[in-house]
Amino acid sequence: MNNEDHMSSAAPHTGQMFRIQRLSALEILDSRGRPTVQATCLLADGCDGTASIPSGASTGAAEALELRDGDPRRFRGLGCRQAVAHVNDTLDRALSGQAFPTQAALDQALRQLDGTANKARLGANAILPVSLAFARAASRRQGRPLHDYFAELRGTRSPTLPRPAINLFSGGKHAGSQSPLQDVLVVPVTARTMAEALAMIFEVYQCAAELCAKQYGMRLLRADEGGLAPPFASAGAMLDDAVAAIRAAGFKAGEDVSLAVDVAATHFHQRDGYHLGPRVLDSHQMIDQLERWVERYPVVSVEDGLAEEDWEYWPRLRARLAGRALTVGDDLLCTNPARISRAIQIGAADTLLLKVNQIGTVTEALEACQLARSAGWRVTISARSGETEDDWLADLAVGWAGDQIKIGSITQSERLSKYNRLLEIQAATGWPLVPWPGRAKLDEL
């Protein structure tokens, strides 16, 4: 990437120690009204940081464990009181009074205290909010914006903002499975800034809402991430309607605004194959179907086109889409360095969907990001379908130079807190969006 500023080891803030004075947490509710965890890290010099974490609905099997209380009389078993207690008791007792020179040192201590491969003992929902709260406290102590703190962890600062892929329509686990395809997103490929991108997509979203009112006799039935969720007749109808909305907004589909799809195929894959509507497809047929969508519609990114354990077929999918659309791994990779390494070895994908809570600490998520980059992959930084108003994701996506960011729709405050934070960063830095590679350039991947 051009204009990268490689931060040298002479960065002004290295050599500091961050002494933890107190760790605390409480149970709060996410955008689906389900419990999640917010943690605060108070440093000995009085700087503090608070962070809350999101939760998925279409989760990958290899994700770090989210500890739920399991008491059916309280939040239908979804309570997070045990995870909260692990912060207030176990982690506070073990870490308060200790000094850490780096984020990596703190995250290593958190991992050791848990001692399991998937954070099953303390819960990723106890560990991650502490890891993020520490990041925020440390960035405050250094008097620098959080995105700059994340950039220093990466060792490089890129003066760009990630290009948003914005949720327009939802089905699957995000909208009661009225359509198998989980999300259709719009990518403002010609927008030069975040502000321009949001203004373009506002127009497309309004046109899509009007189209839903006319075509389906409904308007405001929104899915988990704020996307529209009418009873589409088929996955193809979702794509047709998305193209119609782009055109109605006065844009050229495939030139000004393109499409990205999160197929989330794991969630309609059964023993006998892919249940795409009334049809059951084997892996070959599923790849054919995905290719047909990419040929017929301006789709530039295909996430989880195949199921998370269909490893054998992922390289074939990537080869078929190469040069036309990104092959993005979410459930397949689970932001897990071991799974990413396997995917790199066999050429199963060319883009990492990065979700920090899939792995459970800032440092391990950064490792996943660096690993993907080292293979020449692109990185899409993603929110979850259950979010909070916290906006750390925006800073992380800028600091780690995400190519794309997936936050959801441009409605609902848990989404807008991140978009608005990106607008603040744009205003403070003047940084443009990272250029979209375009179909031609995708050939290089």
Binding site for ligand 2PG (CB under 6 A): 56-59, 183, 225, 262, 264, 330, 382, 384-385
Is residue 148 part of the contact set for Mg ion (CB under 5 A)? Answer: no
Catalytic, 414? Answer no
Residue nearest to Mg ion (CB): 330
H or E element: which one contains 414?
helix 413-429
Q: Closest distance between ligand 2PG and the C-beta of residue 148, in Å?
A: 26
Is residue 63 part of the contact set for Mg ion (CB under 5 A)? Answer: no
- Residue 148 or residue 224: which is nearer to Mg ion going by CB? 224
- Residue 111 or residue 119: which is nearer to ligand 2PG going by CB? 119
3-state secondary structure of 324: coil
Q: Closest distance between ligand 2PG and the C-beta of residue 137, in Å?
A: 26
- Residue 100 or residue 274: which is nearer to ligand 2PG going by CB? 274
Unique residue bearing structure tokens 């989404």 = 415
Is residue 330 part of the contact set for Mg ion (CB under 5 A)? Answer: yes
For helices 146-154 and 392-399, the axis angle rounded to 10 degrees is 40
Is residue 391 part of the contact set for Mg ion (CB under 5 A)? Answer: no
- Distance between CA atoms of 184 and 170, rounded to whole angstroms? 6
- Distance between CA atoms of 355 and 407, rounded to whole angstroms? 11
Is the sign of the CA dihedral 96, 101, 105, 106 positive or negative?
A: positive
Catalytic, 225? Answer yes
18, β-bridge pairs: 100
Partner touching 59 among Mg ion, ligand 2PG, none, CB below 5 to 8 Å by kind: ligand 2PG
327, β-bridge pairs: 302
Partner touching 358 among Mg ion, ligand 2PG, none, CB below 5 to 8 Å by kind: none
- Residue 57 or residue 135: which is nearer to ligand 2PG going by CB? 57
- 205: phi then psi, degrees, rounded to nearest 5: -65, -45
Distances (CA, A) of 210 to 200, 203, 239, 264: 16, 11, 16, 27
Which of 63, 66, 225, 387 is the catalytic position?
A: 225
Residue nearest to ligand 2PG (CB): 56
Q: Closest distance between ligand 2PG and the C-beta of residue 55, in Å?
A: 7
User: 328, 308, 315: which is closest to 63 by C-alpha?
Assistant: 308
Q: Closest distance between ligand 2PG and the C-beta of residue 127, in Å?
A: 18
Task: Spell out where 225-377 has E strands.
Answer: 257-262, 269-270, 273-276, 279-281, 299-303, 326-329, 351-354
- Distance between CA atoms of 44 and 213, rounded to whole angstroms? 56
Task: Identify residues 216-275 at the interface with Mg ion (CB under 5 A).
Answer: 262
- Residue 330 or residue 390: which is nearer to Mg ion going by CB? 330
Where does this chain bind Mg ion (CB under 5 A)? 262, 330
Active site residues: 225, 355
